[in-house]
Amino acid sequence: MKRFSTLLGFELKKIARGRVAVASLALCAALLFALTLISEMVARPEGRGARTLTGRAVDDGFVAEVADAAARAGGLTAVPPESPYCQAARWMNRMLGNSVSIADVSGDVAPDMLTAGALYAARDGVMETLYDTFGLRQDERDWWAARERRIERPYVWADSRAAGAIKADSSAVTALMCLLMGVCLAGTYADERRRRTDAMVLCAPHGRGVLWKVKFCAGEIWALAVGTALLAAAALPHILLNGLRGLDGAWQLVTPFSAYPHGIGTMLLIYLALYGLICLLTGAAVMALSVWLQNAMAVTGIVGAMVTADLFISVPARLRVLSQMRYLTPIQIMINSAMTDPRLILLFGRYVTPLQAAAMLYAAATMALYWLTGIGYKRLRAG
């Protein structure tokens, strides 16, 4: 075990002192931070005064105040950024005007339609349409209805700007993290041959035994570090300028058409855990490719192609199994979560949500890749 930790230190040093790895990480993190900061600075007035509404129930009185502000401004999307009602008006606009495609509508909703009842009824209507579009079976609808009943109404308003922004950025951060992993970890196993150190390593007692596990462990630690650095770079500007508030608010304030009965803080933690698993999975996949292909450039290319495919391939919802599998891929699960795929997966006689299924799938795939990496390493001979 002592040798494991000593070797782990050396393997981490190899990765962390790689110029390309560190330079690309620093560049990506700096770029993310700068872009997020700029967008936050531009959008910041939108939230000015929004905190004064925190803690109020989204009932008829609250809705009437937002309607007044909207009437004065000429529509829900016209409420000026400096108004305390700006954030609430935009959220209500999404609740009332969103189509099933979940694209934000640019058209406005007449302020006189605005009552709490109309607001919640509109959301329920969209949810039903969403369930139809995804072809949900009756038992799945019942399952979600039971979760819906646990969400308290009226919602309690909370300033959720930072949480919403972090959630909105998460898919881009995930895509960038995957690409970066393809750069940083592609040489974990392949570089020994390229550097012609493989013969010396493989004839050492621990060179064949424990070393592949040490390298895998170092790679996974680095994967988590890269993931954390990128997430922090993207999230810090939101948190620093808005404060991470409203964590006890309903998740529906961030994602109106989600039926998860959890608070914003809990859902952020769930996504954070999922993101951590994605980091580990990506790291494991890159390292498995590295040991089997023994060519770092090829590994980086394959990872780039996979990320591109994950971003652009589309499968229609009517092809249920295929499209469910599609939505379980790492970048998609983060994008998809903005609208929440309601299709459940039957596992050992119990329904699990896509988020639960993805977590189990990623953990199992990471373990399988660990095993494959071991097999690949044991087959290695010096080049």
Partner 1 sequence: MILRADRLTKQYRNRIAVDRVSFELKEGVTGLLGANGAGKTTLMRMLTGVLDPTGGEVAADGIPVASEAYRALLGYLPQDFGYYPEFTVWDFVMYFAALKGLDRPTARRRTEALLDRVGLTDAAGRRMKTLSGGMRQRAGIAQALVNDPRILILDEPTAGLDPGERVRFRNLIRELGRHSIVLFSTHIVSDVEHIADQVMMMNAGRLIWRGRWDESDGSLEDFYMKAFGEDAAHEAVFDAVGL
Report the residue number, 207 or 283, with the smaller CB distance to partner 1: 207
Helices and strands, number each (H, E), in the chain = 16, 2
Based on the shown chain and the rule CB under 8 A, indicate whether residue 201 belongs to the binding site for partner 1: yes
Based on the shown chain and the rule CB under 8 A, indicate whether residue 204 belongs to the binding site for partner 1: yes
Residue 327 buriedness (CB in 10 A; 0-12 / 13-18 / 19+): buried
Report the residue number, 205 or 349, with the smaller CB distance to partner 1: 205
Stretch that binds partner 1, among 45-53, 123-131, 206-214, 325-333 (CB under 8 A): 206-214
Based on the shown chain and the rule CB under 8 A, indicate whether residue 17 belongs to the binding site for partner 1: yes
**DSSP assignment string, 67-92:** HHHHHHHTSGGGS-TTSTTHHHHHHH
Spatial neighbors of 356 by CB under 8 A, at least 6 apart, are none
The vertex-5 CA angle with 29 and 192, nearest 5°, equals 70
> Token digits for 75?
């529509």
Based on the shown chain and the rule CB under 8 A, indicate whether residue 199 belongs to the binding site for partner 1: yes
Min separation Cβ 329 and partner 1, Å = 34
Spell out, one character per residue from 109 to 138, where the chain touches partner 1: x when CB under 8 A holds, - when not.
------------------------------
Stretch that binds partner 1, among 30-38, 200-208, 299-307, 352-360 (CB under 8 A): 200-208
**DSSP assignment string, 294-316:** --HHHHHHHHHHHHHHHHH----
Residue 341 buriedness (CB in 10 A; 0-12 / 13-18 / 19+): buried
> Token digits for 217?
């462990």
Q: Determine the size of the site formed for partner 1 (CB under 8 A).
A: 28
The vertex-138 CA angle with 132 and 139, nearest 5°, equals 130
Based on the shown chain and the rule CB under 8 A, indicate whether residue 347 belongs to the binding site for partner 1: no
Report the residue number, 8 or 100, with the smaller CB distance to partner 1: 8
Based on the shown chain and the rule CB under 8 A, indicate whether residue 13 belongs to the binding site for partner 1: yes
Min separation Cβ 372 and partner 1, Å = 21
Residue ranges of E strands in the chain: 345-347, 350-352
Stretch that binds partner 1, among 79-87, 179-187, 191-199, 330-338 (CB under 8 A): 191-199
Min separation Cβ 282 and partner 1, Å = 23
Based on the shown chain and the rule CB under 8 A, indicate whether residue 186 belongs to the binding site for partner 1: no
Min separation Cβ 198 and partner 1, Å = 8
CA 261, CA 268: separation in Å to the nearest integer? 13
Based on the shown chain and the rule CB under 8 A, indicate whether residue 72 belongs to the binding site for partner 1: no
**How far is C-alpha 116 from the geometric centre of its chain's CA atoms?**
31
Among 159, 169, 198, 341, binds partner 1 (CB under 8 A): 198
Based on the shown chain and the rule CB under 8 A, indicate whether residue 208 belongs to the binding site for partner 1: yes
Based on the shown chain and the rule CB under 8 A, indicate whether residue 378 belongs to the binding site for partner 1: no
User: What three-state secondary structure class fits 319?
Assistant: coil
Backbone dihedral angles phi then psi of residue 110, each to the nearest 5 degrees:
-65, 130
Among 37, 71, 202, 293, binds partner 1 (CB under 8 A): 202
Based on the shown chain and the rule CB under 8 A, indicate whether residue 379 belongs to the binding site for partner 1: no
Min separation Cβ 288 and partner 1, Å = 22
**How far is C-alpha 315 from the geometric centre of its chain's CA atoms?**
20
Among 47, 97, 164, 207, binds partner 1 (CB under 8 A): 207
Among 10, 68, 145, 308, binds partner 1 (CB under 8 A): 10
Report the residue number, 6 or 99, with the smaller CB distance to partner 1: 6
Based on the shown chain and the rule CB under 8 A, indicate whether residue 153 belongs to the binding site for partner 1: no
Q: Residue 263 pairs with which residues in a beta bridge?
A: 250
> Token digits for 38?
């700029």
CA 361, CA 91: separation in Å to the nearest integer? 33
Q: Residue 352 pairs with which residues in a beta bridge?
A: 345
CA 294, CA 196: separation in Å to the nearest integer? 12
Min separation Cβ 383 and partner 1, Å = 9
> Token digits for 357?
């299924």
Report the residue number, 42 or 200, with the smaller CB distance to partner 1: 200
Q: What residues make contact with partner 1 under the rule CB under 8 A?
A: 2-3, 6-7, 10, 13-14, 17-18, 194-209, 211, 381-382
